[in-house]
Amino acid sequence: MPHTLPKLPWDIAALEPNYLKSTMEFHYGKHHNTYVTKLNAALEGTGHENVAIEGLLTGLKTKDFPADKRQAVINHGGGHYNHTLFWNILGPNSTEEPFGELAEQINKDFGSFTEFKEKFATNATNLFGSGWTWLTVKKDGSLQIENTANQDNCLMDSDRKPIMVLDVWEHAYYLEHQNLRPNFITTFWKMVNWKQVAEYYALAKLGKTIINLDVVTA
């Protein structure tokens, strides 16, 4: 089983009361874990079993890949990658605001951090059904906010690198907020680890891998 559930970067109860331990137990322990299991099953016999997750997903929608397995790898590989990035950009000691070069670029591309948050929240609120809202980086360092449906992500069909993401599947917030997605978005800002997002921004500008996970080979 080459892909494995990565360890959380913080204790499973560390985001309480903003994000409940009980939510994390099923969101990470069940949902994320199931994506990893199903990804390994989908990859069996494709010859892509031992490719690390970011390389596996990059260009996946258009690259040479067994056609009968592609959608399953988009769904479960995306589920694995997207949740890993999501856990990594959250944390218990949020500064609640970006700083340094990333903050300057946010001001340049969106006007201010307040305007950025409004645009991000509007995108996340208006995403119909299940999906993810992203902050991505182009090769020139500029930033975009974009949505993807289901477990898709921008690596699969673009050259933009994801550096921050919000899960807006209902399973991500139902225990805390029931159907009230906007309340989850408000809480999300209290949990973002801007230090980590800044590190991802620096990597993205250099064209480097954002999510490095070991693939366990037999």
Q: Residue 171: phi, psi to the nearest 5?
A: -65, -20
| Binding string, residues 55-94; x marks residues near Mn ion by CB under 5 A | ----------------------------------------
What region, left, alpha or beta, does residue 113 occupy, with left being phi > 0 and alpha being psi -120 to 50 degrees?
alpha
CB of 48 to Mn ion, least distance (A): 24
Residue 67 or 128: the one with the smaller Cβ distance to Mn ion is 128
Q: 139 to 168, contacts with Mn ion by CB under 5 A?
A: 167
Is 19 a residue that touches Mn ion (CB under 5 A)? no
**SS3 label, residue 135:** strand
Q: Taking contact as CB under 5 A, which single stretch among the options 121-129, 133-141, 171-179, 182-190 is the one that binds Mn ion?
A: 171-179
Selected from 169, 173, 194, 200, the binder of Mn ion by CB under 5 A is 169
- Write the interaction track for Mn ion spanning residues 172-191; mark x where CB under 5 A is met and - where it is not: x-------------------
What is the Cα–Cα distance from 107 to 55, expressed in whole angstroms? 31
Distance CA 34, CA 25 (A): 13
Q: Closest approach of Cβ 148 to Mn ion, in Å?
A: 13
Neighbouring residues of 126: CB distance < 8 A, sequence distance ≥ 6: 147
Q: How far is the CB of 191 from Mn ion (least distance, A)?
A: 15
Q: Which strands make up the sheet holding 131-137, listed edge to edge?
A: 143-149, 131-137, 161-167
Query: In whole angstroms, how close is the CB of 32 to Mn ion at the nearest point?
Result: 7
Tokens of 105: 């670029």
Q: Which residues bind Mn ion (CB under 5 A)?
A: 167, 169, 172
